[in-house]
Amino acid sequence: MKIVKNSKELERVVGQLKVQNRSIGFVPTMGALHQGHLSLMEYADKENDIVVVSIFVNPTQFNDKSDYAKYPRILESDIEKLNKVKCDIVFTPEESDMYPEEDKRQFDFGNLDKVMEGKHRPGHFRGVALIVSKLFEMVKPDRAYFGEKDFQQVAIIKHITKQLKFDVEIVSCPIIREEDGLAMSSRNMLLTKAQRENVSLISETLFEAKKIAKNSSVSETKDWVIRTINDNPFLKVEYFDIVDTETLETIKEWSQNVDKVGCIAVHVGNIRLIDNVRFYS
């Protein structure tokens, strides 16, 4: 595995691979790697000659500076994990390399950033678009892999990839969960023991909601999810919505002939977790 620490070196290495017609699978991360990240690398390995992973805690996608400050940074441990999977190149740039000057670009996300995460984290998706577009330009991947836990983010990335005409296939991969159902997240390591014992209620409630939905309206199902989770003193729902998987518009009736996903954000003390589940009707 080759560790590349700056963009000029990355572009040189990638250029050599492109000359050799080697296909590149790319997994962008913010580090604090877990099995969810590693599963993306497994998908990338199956479909490409070379696997490139980036580790960079991107400041522009944090609308809460305290959240950015406490985001786990464990590069040495991450490198150890990458040595145990198929990772050919890991890119670990400094902020000054990714943002040598202020990037003032704006993006048109349509309505995709007006709901859920976009509504509650203003500016977040612009930051995501800034860093993903920069990384795509540097890595020049054939395919890029993202986890479906960040469902809205994947929709945004697919949108900007098409809008900016990147020749990259965006591959969304299934959520990887802990044994008790909790969606794997780098933020999970910040939970206290007591918090960790209670957060499995999030996924339990989402899975149960699929059964509740068979005999309840959309609004009744949403109310039940929010009430069930909020009844736990450790948890506070920020939002829960059931939306069209393509447009992210709120579903009003189960009879609507679109694919549906229920997306949730929950505060656990000062930690914020997200998850989602597909609804079929």
Catalytic residues: 37
- The Cα–Cα gap between 1 and 154 comes to 27
DSSP 66-106: HHHHHS---HHHHHHHHTTS--SEEE---HHHH-SS-----
C-alpha 64: how far from its chain's center?
A: 17
Joined tokens for residue 245: 């998987």
Joined tokens for residue 25: 């699978």
